[in-house]
Amino acid sequence: MDSQPERQTEVLEENGQVEPIASLSERSPGALLRSIFREERFFLILSVFIGVFSGLAVVCFRFAIDWCRIYLLGSGSTLSPNRLVLAPTLAGLVIAVLVIHVFPGVRGSGVNQTKAALYIYNGYIPLRTAIGKFITAALAIGSGHSLGPEDPSLQIGASLASALGRRMRLSRDRMRLIAPVGAAAGLAAAFNAPISAVLFVIEEVIGRWTAGILGSVVLSAVSSVVVMRWFLGSESLFRIPAVHLERPSELIAYSVLGVVGGLASIAFSSGIATLRPRFKALPRWTQYFQPAAAGLLIGLIAVLGAPQVMGAGYEYIDEAMHGQFTWQMLAILAGLKIVATLLSFVSGTPGGMFAPTLFVGAMLGAAVGGAEHVLLPHLSGSPGTYALVGMGVLFAGFLRAPMTSVFMVLEVSGNYSIIVPVIVANTFAYVISRGLQPTAIFDVLTRQDGLDLPSMEEQREEGILRVEDAMRPMGDSVLDAEDTIDRVLHVSEKSSSDVLLVRLSPVGWSSITSQELRRMAAEGKGGFTLGSLLPVRHVPYLHPDHSLDTALRYVDRWPLVPVVSRADFRKLEGVISQHDVLKRYRDFGEG
Amino acid sequence: MTAKAKGTDLRLYLTREPVILALLSALAVALFLVVTGLSHIYHAQQSSLGNRWFSRGVADLRAQRFESAVAEFRTALLYSRDNYSYQLNLAEALIGRKRTSEAYSYLVNLWEREPENGVVNLELARIAAQKGQTEPALRYYHNAIYATWPGDQEVERRDTRLELIEFLLRINAKAQAQSELIALAANLADGPSQQARVGDLFVQAQDYDHALAEYRLSLKSERHNPAALAGAGRAAFELGRYPLAQRYLQAAVAANPSDSESVARLKTTELVLEMDPFRRQLSVARRDRIVMDDFAAAGQRLKSCSALDNARGTASGAGSQQNFADSWSKVKTEITEQGFRRNPDLVEAAMDLVFKIERQASTACGESAGADMALLLIAKLHEGS
């Protein structure tokens, strides 16, 4: 027997799937088509369509937001005070009615709803949610509520994908995964940043890297960005200033930004965590007026001199990056934006947290950079550099998406020289935020809503039990297939185990019981080699680094599974049985 | 598998996934068309709003209401973020508001898109010049000179070169300024005022030969242009061509009597011509008389300088002044008409002492004026001769 195919069939891969190998010419036309349109391949093709439809929806969403802004607030940059107050207030009233009576599932940002679809509702998000989110979020953002379009786009994408999946009658497993695929498409189109969108969905929604879903997520994100760029152009959300780091010692300045950003993230998320349940606990009739009251207060902030806090505010991020504001003004804008976003979000107005997070981060970053420049004029970083790093800092500290925060800044800036300051500052912000507020904001929100979705942050940090944690040494109870029955019978009599492992030649493992050996000897086959009499019964083997979950799939079918070295499949590292696995799990639970 | 079963299998798949994909494709195309329609409406509105705010901004920019112009161009950019013209005008308005760092970021973006744009290069050159960044300023100025310009390219390029020359003169890069001026003069159109302007720049670059040539060209077209006459007079004066300088300066003063600089320069020129004993076509008696007068003037300068030193209580160059005073007193006895006749070399020796005294006095006692200045100029004129 050729050793190579044998190895292919015996080694248990992580996904546990072994595809039968057959040449295409041997297949019937039906089998061929079945192969082409196997569900996972069909799912990949479907991902492209999800991306296209999500991209189109997000483009329309952008149109709707702009039209709302032009017709509600006016087309100029200097807005009339009456409109500044009335537009968000009246829009708030309309939104409240719509949210309470027509679209009850559209409150909040949409990230948690997508997670809930994945973990609770088998991928089900009603199409009505997409429609409701589209209308209410466009109205809210367009009228000046301090919210962003990214998270609603994510939910719109997820909802469209879910609707499409239901129409296609996908399996339950695929249906569960389809919402994140749509979410990535929606976010990528809204943010014009496919890599960040993919990372965010993997990091925050799905919570794990699996090859099966990664391809679909990437395909949908890329196709939605292509559609978005087709209609709205490929320019980034803001003009990126020149970025450079002249001296490594300047990283200390960025560390200070990380610390300040971490503290600001705590203030932001604590505000939401504290105020949201209190607003929800108010009498039901107040819910009709909460978005309007938030709109009124935001309008007043704008009239009093800070219209920059209204809407998503990307144009002001651009201005902050190019030294438009003094550092004092930047600090004030960061503080007011936190207040305005708190008001909008806790009042239940539909809209996203991404844009406000970026706004606060950019303002805070440029403010810290400006203040540091006053104290240390030799620092080479421009306000734009600090603003860019600041955006990443808030992303890491507030949204607790450390990977996405780094790649988001890289993708937006297109400049890799910023990576070191970003990593340094983000690490500080993340560690401070994590230390002072152990639960991430998205997890706080889901728990406030009475759901218990898996925390991605906790999952990331969860210890994994491996085979090496449960295996035990085999001792001398390993037989060779070349040994005679008489010889191995002698070994089995000394062994305490009833099941003995047999090392096959050239590779592979099998097992035999003492009883079978005794029977063979009784039949007068003592002079025969074990290999010649052994029934074809290949035992799968594991490696020490396999997870115990993987081991669990096999230990009930085989009483003893060999654990072998990855470098030498004949070298036995230990053995594992069902009892060993369960004992380890029990010890872990008690520990 | 039988043929019938194979056919059923095939039909099943042909009626499922391919059809679904075809339907999805059709739906995508239909939605694409719908969104394309919406997109046309959206972009038309955005373009209209952008143009409206841009027009207002241009009007305010022309009226130098930079603050309003900045706000209006910003609004215009809300509707067309990538619009080159909007960004360029916003940058110009920002420069008007002295917000150069912000303007710079816009201009750099524009430069990356169109490195050959003259306006962008010129504005970047101005900002770099303002920041004292000589190297980038020169690079952008040169880019601008060879860039493409809207409207009359030649005029824009010439004006840019003029601006570059002014920048070079400001940073005291006279040699570079001279070479740019030579290039500019070669491509200058026939215009007396421009020729006079280039002449002025040559004077600033201390290239008096070319300056005189430009003034002369200018005067060919406009004989009585006072500025050109004064400039030609100055250039001739600096070149030591005092008779020519006298003619131009006389004409300049006649054309513009309030030109005090030309009046003073004419006076000095006349003194030089009057006090120069080495002039041609001078009678011996006249020459001797001039030498005696110059000698007396030098003696006077020596005395006044010593008196000034005494008054200030300083002794700067006291030793050499005493030596010069001794020499002067010694030669003084010989400075007579008979003395000149006896010793033909006495003119040279006397004037040599006069020049030394004047030079030393100007160093020790401050700038010379009047006759003393004229004597210094005469000394300079005959240096090495």
Per-residue pLDDT, B315: 55
Phi and psi (nearest 5°) for A149? -90, -5
Instruction: Judge whether A57 and A135 are in contact, CB under 8 Å.
Output: no
d(CA A65, CA A136): 10
Task: Check A37 against B16: CB less than 8 A apart.
Answer: yes
Q: Which residues of A make CB contacts under 8 Å with B?
A: 28-31, 33-34, 37, 42, 45-46, 49, 52-53, 56, 59-60, 63, 66-67, 70, 75-78, 168, 231, 233, 235, 239, 241-242, 315, 322-324, 384
d(CA A262, CA A267): 9
pTM of the model: 0.69
**Residue A510 pairs with which residues in a beta bridge?**
A502, A538
Which of A29, A33, A63 has its CB closest to that of B42? A63
Per-residue pLDDT, A292: 96
How far A36 CA lies from chain B's nearest CA (Å)?
A: 10
Task: Check A76 against B53: CB less than 8 A apart.
Answer: yes
Which of A343, A367, A356, A446 minimizes the C-alpha distance to A398? A356
Rg (CA), chain A: 30
Task: Check A56 against B16: CB less than 8 A apart.
Answer: no
Compute the Cα dihedral for A313, A314, A316, A321 and give only its sign. Answer: positive
Tokens linked to A263: 């503290």
Contacts of B55 in chain A (CB under 8 A): none
Cis status of the peptide bond prior to A506, with omega within 30 of 0: yes
Sheet hosting strand A478-480, strand order edge to edge: A478-480, A499-503, A509-513
Query: Is the per-residue pLDDT at A336 higher than 90?
Result: yes
Per-residue pLDDT, B6: 59
Task: Tell me if chain A has a CB within 8 Å of the CB of B9.
Answer: yes
Query: pLDDT per residue over A169-202, tens digit each?
Result: 787 878 888 888 999 999 999 988 899 999 888 8
**Residue A562 pairs with which residues in a beta bridge?**
A575
d(CA A330, CA A324): 9
Query: Is the per-residue pLDDT at A6 higher than 50?
Result: no
Which of B203, B204, B197 minimizes the C-alpha distance to B168? B204
Task: Identify the closest residue of chain A to B20 by CA–CA distance.
Answer: A168
d(CA B218, CA B188): 11
Task: Identify the closest residue of chain A to B47 by CA–CA distance.
Answer: A75
Interface A–B counts its CB contacts (< 8 A) at 90
Task: Check B38 against A63: CB less than 8 A apart.
Answer: yes
Per-residue pLDDT, A460: 65
Task: Tell me if chain A has a CB within 8 Å of the CB of B108.
Answer: yes
Task: Report chain A's terminal Cα–Cα distance, integer Å.
Answer: 47
Task: Tell me if chain A has a CB within 8 Å of the CB of B320.
Answer: no
d(CA A388, CA A336): 19
Contacts of B14 in chain A (CB under 8 A): 33
Query: pLDDT per residue over A195-244, tens digit each?
Result: 999 988 888 887 766 666 888 899 999 999 999 999 988 877 777 777 77
Task: Tell me if chain A has a CB within 8 Å of the CB of B49.
Answer: yes
CATH annotation of A39-232: 1.10.3080.10
- Average pLDDT over chain A, rounded to an integer: 85
Q: A529: Cβ–Cβ under 8 A, 6 or more apart, which residues?
A: A481, A482, A483, A484, A485
The residue extents of the domains of chain A are 39-232, 248-454, 467-590
Query: pLDDT per residue over A136-164, tens digit each?
Result: 999 999 999 999 999 999 999 999 999 99
CATH topology of domain B196-275: 1.25.40
Which of A306, A298, A395, A299 minimizes the C-alpha distance to A345? A298
Which of B6, B24, B82 has its CB closest to that of A28? B6
d(CA A514, CA A499): 7
Q: What is the ipTM of this complex?
A: 0.76
Task: Tell me if chain A has a CB within 8 Å of the CB of B47.
Answer: no
Instruction: Judge whether B68 and B93 are in contact, CB under 8 Å.
Output: no
d(CA A297, CA A295): 5
Q: Around Cβ B34, how many Cβ atoms within 10 Å?
A: 12
Task: Check B82 against A168: CB less than 8 A apart.
Answer: no
Is A248-454 assigned to CATH 1.10.3080.10?
A: yes
d(CA A287, CA A587): 49
Kindly list the distances between the CA atom of residue A228 and the CA atoms of A24, A52, A187, A318, in Å, as whole numbers in the listed order: 39, 9, 11, 21
Q: Alpha carbon A495 to chain centroid distance?
A: 50
Q: Residue A162: how many CA atoms within 13 Å on its side-chain side?
A: 27
pLDDT category at A16 given cuts 50, 70, 90 is very low
Instruction: Give me the DSSP letters along A417-486.
Output: GGHHHHHHHHHHHHHHHHHH--S-HHHHHHHHTT--PPPHHHHHH----BHHHH-B--TT-EEETTSBHH
Give the CATH architecture of domain A467-590. Answer: Roll (3.10)
Task: Check B78 against A384: CB less than 8 A apart.
Answer: no
φ/ψ region of B18 (left if φ > 0, alpha if ψ in -120 to 50, else beta) reads alpha
d(CA A406, CA A393): 9
Instruction: Judge whether A573 and A565 are in contact, CB under 8 Å.
Output: yes
**Mutation test of the interface with chain B: which of A47, A52, A321, choosing the one with the most B Cβ atoms within 10 A?**
A52
Task: Report chain B's terminal Cα–Cα distance, integer Å.
Answer: 120
d(CA B324, CA B336): 19
Query: Is the per-residue pLDDT at A543 higher than 50?
Result: yes
Do A39-232 and A248-454 show the same overall fold? Answer: yes
Task: Check B31 against A323: CB less than 8 A apart.
Answer: no
Q: Around Cβ B199, how many Cβ atoms within 10 Å?
A: 30
Task: Check A33 against B102: CB less than 8 A apart.
Answer: no
Query: pLDDT per residue over B213-268, tens digit each?
Result: 888 888 887 788 888 888 888 888 888 888 888 888 888 888 888 888 888 888 88
Q: Around Cβ A273, how many Cβ atoms within 10 Å?
A: 17
Q: Alpha carbon A272 to chain centroid distance?
A: 22
Task: Identify the closest residue of chain A to B12 by CA–CA distance.
Answer: A30
Task: Tell me if chain A has a CB within 8 Å of the CB of B42.
Answer: yes
Contacts of A78 in chain B (CB under 8 A): 71
Rg (CA), chain B: 38
